[in-house]
Amino acid sequence: MTNEQITTCIIIKSPPFSAIDGKEGIDLALVCAAFDQQVNLIFVEQGIFHLIKSQDSNCIDDKLHDKQLNAIEFYDIDKIYVESESLEKFHLTEKHLLSHVDCLPSSDIKTLCHSANQTVIF
Amino acid sequence: MSVSFTILVTGSPTNSQAHLSALRFANAVIENNHSISSVFFYQEAVHVANGYIIKPSDEAQLTQKWATLSAEHNVELQVCVAAANRRGVIDANEASLNALEHHSIHPAFSILGLGQFAAKLSEAKTKIVQFK
């Protein structure tokens, strides 16, 4: 079996500022992509706040990693998925998010994870 | 058929049940004649590799339990370098690179890059089980 056939789902459900989980999850996604895996980076629940555009690092006195998320297509992560139920829950729509994300209902996300070789949750 | 497992621990040793569950799982794997390819510690889980942890003697000594599992069954305990460095779990090499007087990692654990774990995922020869 070659590397091309390996699919890894990385699910980010932690919020961006109160925990480091999201950043460490994205780091793993980038490394997996560097190893030629097909990476599905999936944001659910409070994890969707990672994708809000125009965040201001002056407000948190620390570095933001939205630049890393914007650059993600250069790392061979083709798709960023967002669970649409999570967006609805927080009264957000696709227009609040970075441009290169795909919204999917949770049933489709479940299918993605079932067809992947492995899933890691952050 | 014997199955090979890679155990990923991401939960904190002080604020989660991850390590106790992972250790139980690891022992069950071995008792049932399956095998453990390696144990990889990421996120808050890296704290367990700190050699300076002192816990009351009647509580579960997680660092020691992992060390015993590793010694008795030849299981490698791998700690992510980036996650460990930001939490003060560093080996002698890292201490010397940063002109620090001491290192803090327990000798049963080894520091490796996240790439090592990603490579394991790429092999797809083992089942990944995460404890968080």
For residue A7, the SS3 value is strand
**Burial bucket for residue B32 (CB in 10 Å: 0-12, 13-18, 19+):** exposed
Cβ of B82 and A27 within 8 Å? yes
Domain that holds residue B45: 4-131
Which of B79, B121, B123, B131 to mutate to test binding with chain A, by most A CBs within 10 Å of its CB? Answer: B121
Question: What is the ipTM for the molecules in this complex?
Answer: 0.90
Reading the block at residue A88, the tokens are 């609805």
Cβ of A117 and B10 within 8 Å? no
Q: Residue B95: in which H helix or E strand, if any?
A: helix B92-97
Identify which of A3, A21, A35 has the shortest CB distance to residue B43. A21
Strand partners, B6: B38, B128
Name chain A contacts of B82, Cβ cutoff 8 Å: 27
Identify which of A3, A24, A35 has the shortest CB distance to residue B83. A24
The pLDDT assigned to B86 comes to 96
**Burial bucket for residue A47 (CB in 10 Å: 0-12, 13-18, 19+):** buried
Model confidence over B51-88: pLDDT tens digits? 999 999 999 999 999 999 999 999 999 999 999 999 99
The pLDDT assigned to A79 comes to 85
Strands of chain A, DSSP E: 7-12, 38-43, 79-83, 101-104, 118-121
Query: Closest approach of chain A CAs to the CA of B126, in angstroms?
Result: 10
CATH number of the domain enclosing B22 = 3.40.1260.10
The pLDDT assigned to A65 comes to 67
Give the count of Cβ contacts less than 8 A between chain A and B.
49
Radius of gyration of chain B (CA): 15
Chain A residue with CA closest to B127: the answer is: A118
The pLDDT assigned to A98 comes to 86
Reading the block at residue B34, the tokens are 């399956």
Cβ of B121 and A35 within 8 Å? yes
Backbone angles phi, psi at B114, to 5 degrees: -60, -30
Name chain A contacts of B118, Cβ cutoff 8 Å: 28, 31-32, 34-35, 37
Model confidence over A7-16: pLDDT tens digits? 999 999 999 8
Cβ of A3 and B122 within 8 Å? yes
Identify which of B82, B115, B121 has the shortest CB distance to residue A8. B121
Around A101, how many Cα atoms within 13 Å sit in the side-chain half-sphere? 27
The pLDDT assigned to A3 comes to 47
Tokens 């297509």 — which residue? A73
User: Mean pLDDT, consecutive 10-residue segments, chain A of 122 residues?
Assistant: 75 92 93 93 96 78 72 79 97 91 96 96 97
What are the structural domain ranges in chain A?
3-121
Identify which of B114, B121, B128 has the shortest CB distance to residue A27. B114
For residue A66, the SS3 value is helix
Name chain B contacts of A36, Cβ cutoff 8 Å: 122
The pLDDT assigned to B45 comes to 98
The pLDDT assigned to A1 comes to 46
Model confidence over B9-34: pLDDT tens digits? 999 999 999 999 999 999 999 999 99
Model confidence over A110-120: pLDDT tens digits? 999 999 999 99
Q: How many domains does chain B have?
A: 1
- CB count, 10 Å around CB of A55? 15
Q: Which fold has domain A3-121?
A: Hypothetical Protein Ychn; Chain: A, (3.40.1260)
Mean pLDDT for the stretch of residues B94-110: 97
The pLDDT assigned to A58 comes to 75
The pLDDT assigned to B27 comes to 98
Name chain A contacts of B127, Cβ cutoff 8 Å: 118
Please count the helices (runs of H) and the strands (runs of E) in chain A.
Answer: 4, 5
